[in-house]
Amino acid sequence: MRAINRAAVLRALKDLGSVSRAGIARHSGMSQVTVGSIVADLLDRELLVEGDEAPSNGGRPSRLLLLNAAAYAAVGLKLTEDHVVGAITDLEANVTLEATRPLTGRTPEAVADLIAETVTGLLKESGTDRHRLLGVGVGMAGVVDGTEGVCRHSPFLRWRDVPIGALVGDRVQVPVLVENDVNTLALAERWFGAGRGERDFLLVTVGRGVGLGIVADGSLYRGAGGAGEFGHTVVDGSTRVCTCGRTGCLETIVGEAGLIAAAREVGNGRRPRRPRDLGDLYLAVEDDPDLRNVVEDAGRALGRGIANLVNLFAPRLVIVSGEVLHVSSVLVESATAAIDDHVFPGLEGSFEVVAEPLPESAWARGAASLVLSEIFETPTRTQLDLLSALGAGGGA
């Protein structure tokens, strides 16, 4: 019960910024006595600090309370097929230090070793005491069972049912949370980004794959596990074989490989235009009408897909992000036009679409947010573990 009350106090501070004890009581519905006792405990643990005097309404003067973001740290890691990107953050998901390391092997044990080494390196180089580490978050593409910490299927690493959370946990000795990488980004947006304060929003990422994070009624929507495989929804107009082994997937048109393949197929007979990567395409697309058509087609396919999502979920906000966005503003423009063309008339004007750049470090920050979001969420078993780890380690 005390852990639940602690979470409610932290949540009030997250929602309100600086606030008095009375303000927390009003926001959380707890009695002032309970709030006073929980706040004393959190001050002892250095999770809170006292700031200026709160405006008085005649009673005893009290000080405003603030979250002490620097008191504890989280490490997030994004796992790709050939490297791992790590970041250490404070409690507000501000990145203190980043690190990138190449994968030395793809067996679960080799990857767990590399993750543990990266965590140790980040703690050491940032001068963070290990007792200050709340937990480690791991984000990866594919189907991930976050509750069990098991990677059910990773297309890039060719894993099936790998208990990566337990393997890393044995090595780092703090709670380890594992989640689909797009879901970790959605959590980062929910608590620390554009989705802050939004109860219903979608995050669409377009890079090597096409991903979707769904925040519904304030929480990440996972379905029975693995929800959000937007890239593998079936669309007209593609005969290319997808990474999933099937044909007709949206990803084969909009994903990096599909886009490059389509760009390499066009030519005007006079000069071969065969872009090798997104950088080449970026340079060529502005003054090459054929390539511009390819990008516009991809944008339209993406926009039709997003319109379908809007019709299904009625979000307030759609965040579009990912490496492919950097190819050209043409992609986002044609996607936006297609969204407008295909959204159900009753939903027009009820949502906003924003395009956001996505540096690779954002994925690692997202994985750290997986740990941080647990502090402010309705308590789960993981949160109780995290909070008891806090009691054992830092603070008083």
List contacts with Zn ion (CB under 5 A): 232, 242, 244, 249
Instruction: Judge whether 232 and 240 are in contact, CB under 8 Å.
Output: no
Residue 257 or 347 having the CB closest to Zn ion: 257
Indicate the residue among 135 and 258 with the shorter CB distance to Zn ion: 258
Nearest distance in Å: CB 244, Zn ion: 3
Output 144 or 291, the one with its CB closest to Zn ion.
144
Nearer to Zn ion, 229 or 296 (CB): 229
Considering beta carbons, is residue 216 or 244 the nearer one to Zn ion? 244
Nearest residue (CB) to Zn ion, 76 versus 258: 258
Residue 155 to residues 149, 206, 229: CA-CA distances in angstroms? 17, 17, 13
Longest dimension (CA), the chain: 83
User: What would you report as the CA-atom Rg of the chain, rounded to the nearest whole angstrom?
Assistant: 23
Q: Which residues contact 179 (CB under 8 A, 6 or more apart)?
A: 137, 138, 139, 144, 146, 187, 367, 370
Query: In angstroms, rounded to a whole number, what is the distance separating the alpha carbons of residues 161 and 187?
Result: 24
Residue 149 contacts residue 229 (beta carbons within 8 Å): no
Answer for the pair 67, 14: CB distance below 8 angstroms, yes or no: yes
Element (H, E) at 377: none
Q: Which amino acid type is present at position 104?
A: T
Tokens representing residue 83 in the block: 């490297």
CB atoms closer than 10 angstroms to residue 73:
26
- Sheet containing strand 352-356, edge to edge, reads 219-220, 210-216, 201-206, 317-321, 352-356
The tokens of 260 are what?
Answer: 């490059």
Q: How far is the CB of 157 from Zn ion (least distance, A)?
A: 17
Q: How far is the CB of 79 from Zn ion (least distance, A)?
A: 20
Is 235 or 244 the residue whose CB approaches Zn ion more closely?
Answer: 244
> 149, 164 in Cβ contact below 8 A?
yes
Q: Which of 251, 295, 246 minimizes the C-alpha distance to 275?
A: 295
Give the nearer residue to Zn ion in terms of CB position, either 108 or 248: 248
CA angle 99, 229, 180 (to 5 degrees): 30
Rounded distance between C-alpha atoms, residue 206 and residue 306, angstroms: 12
Decide whether 30 or 324 has the Cβ nearer to Zn ion.
Answer: 324
Q: How far is the CB of 227 from Zn ion (least distance, A)?
A: 15
